[in-house]
Amino acid sequence: MATSRDNRRVTLVQGGPVLVEGPVEVVGEDGVVARSDRFLVALCTCRRSKRYPWCDTSHRERRR
């Protein structure tokens, strides 16, 4: 069971990434674990990032 120390803040950004207070571990669909010790990470939601699952702002290149 998680304690309050284990809670992470997750912020949804409209049209952008999901911001997660770190450190974090992200388990991909293929089971590969990506780790970051940063205090804040941006997770890609558009899948255009060359550094997926981390956001590299590639979503900005495509204009509607």
* pLDDT tens-place string over residues 53-64: 999 987 776 555
Residues 6+ apart with CB under 8 A from 58: 44, 46, 48, 49, 50
Mean pLDDT of the chain: 86
pLDDT tens digit string along 20-46?
A: 999 999 999 999 999 999 999 999 998
pLDDT of residue 11: 95
The pLDDT assigned to 47 comes to 87
Burial 27-63 (b: 16+ CB within 10 A, else e): eeeeeeeeebeeeebbbbbeeebeebbbbeeebeeee
**Residue 18: which pLDDT band, with cuts at 50, 70 and 90?**
very high
Helix (H, G, I), strand (E, B) or coil at 12: strand
